[in-house]
Amino acid sequence: MEWFIILLALGIVIGPILYLMPSDRDRYLTSLRAVARKLGYTVQLDKVIKLNPTDDERVTAGGGVRHPALSCARYQLPLGITLNNLPAVTLLRIPPTPTVPVERLDSGWGVAAQGDPAQLKSLQLWLARPAAVRELMTVMNQLPGDVVAVQLDKRFVAAFWREQNPQAHNTNNRPVAWFWPNSKPKIPQTLAGFPRLELLDKAMKMLVNQTKKHWGTSPE
């Protein structure tokens, strides 16, 4: 009986501590974003419109209209100059079967047809520069597959990234410790330890250069 009371007391003390400890996902994101900030990115939580919502996601039980969105992190990189000629646009990655109308810049990227009219106008201005669009698409298709949108602005480019960790499935089958959590795998602290961030960073820097090339000069 005494041992039972001792174990119960330990559980009451240790339980809240274990609950507050960061998960593997939390630790991964903290390190990932810290490395990104060292590379010059501003990282903040954000959302983008979902282009393939189900009927249940679009309408409430009472008939109200919903605006479903995808949660992600916004990785913003400054251009270093101001491009006043550039028509600001947020390009969404188009899913295989979109369930809302879409205006396309390319087969894989576009804007919501019923969204902000300014976005539709900017899209037309981009379409008027086919050489810029071809180079843009070549680079954007090199971004990680879970980048759901890219924003091009006169002062910055931004990627809306879901930050999926391809190594996460390796931790799912670990045995659960009874009194203390198992030792955690070491999270990398350099760019080389995050190949998907390295891929994103390479593409984003190319987007910066291409944006300056096509919109820092007179129209084609």
User: 125-144 b/e with 16+ CB inside 10 Å = b?
Assistant: bbeebeebbebbbebbeebb
With H, G, I as helix, E, B as strand and everything else as coil, classify residue 67.
coil
Q: Above 50 in pLDDT, residue 218?
A: no
Confidence of residue 216 (pLDDT cuts 50, 70, 90): confident
pLDDT higher than threshold 70 for residue 178: no
120/143 Cα distance (integer angstroms) = 23
Tens digits of residue pLDDT in 15-50: 454 344 567 778 999 999 999 999 999 999 999 999
Structural contact between residues 34 and 26, judged by C-beta atoms closer than 8 angstroms: no
Mean pLDDT of 198-202: 97
Residues belonging to the chain: 220
Mean pLDDT of 76-102: 95
Q: Determine what percent of the chain is predicted with pLDDT higher than 90.
A: 64
155 pLDDT higher than 50: yes
Count other Cβ atoms within 10 Å, centred on residue 65: 7
For residue 71, pLDDT beyond 80: yes
Count H helices and E strands in the chain, helices first: 6, 7
**Alpha-carbon distance 192 to 198, whole Å?**
7
Average pLDDT over the chain reads 84
Start-to-end C-alpha separation, the chain:
85
Q: How far is CA 28 from CA 20, 34, 52, 60, 97, in A?
A: 16, 10, 28, 35, 31
Query: Which has the higher per-residue pLDDT, 84 or 178?
Result: 84
- In which band, very low, low, confident or very high, does the pLDDT at 61 lie, cut at 50, 70 and 90? low
Q: 106-145: per-residue pLDDT in tens?
A: 999 999 998 899 999 999 999 999 999 999 999 999 999 9
pLDDT (average), residues 65-72: 87
Question: Which range (32-46, 49-63, 161-175) has the least confidence?
Answer: 161-175
Q: Which two tokens stand for residue 124?
A: 């037309």
Grade residue 180 by pLDDT with cuts at 50, 70 and 90.
Answer: very low
Q: Which amino acid is at 8?
A: L
205: which residues sit within 8 A by CB, 6+ positions away?
Answer: 77
Q: pLDDT at position 174, please?
A: 47
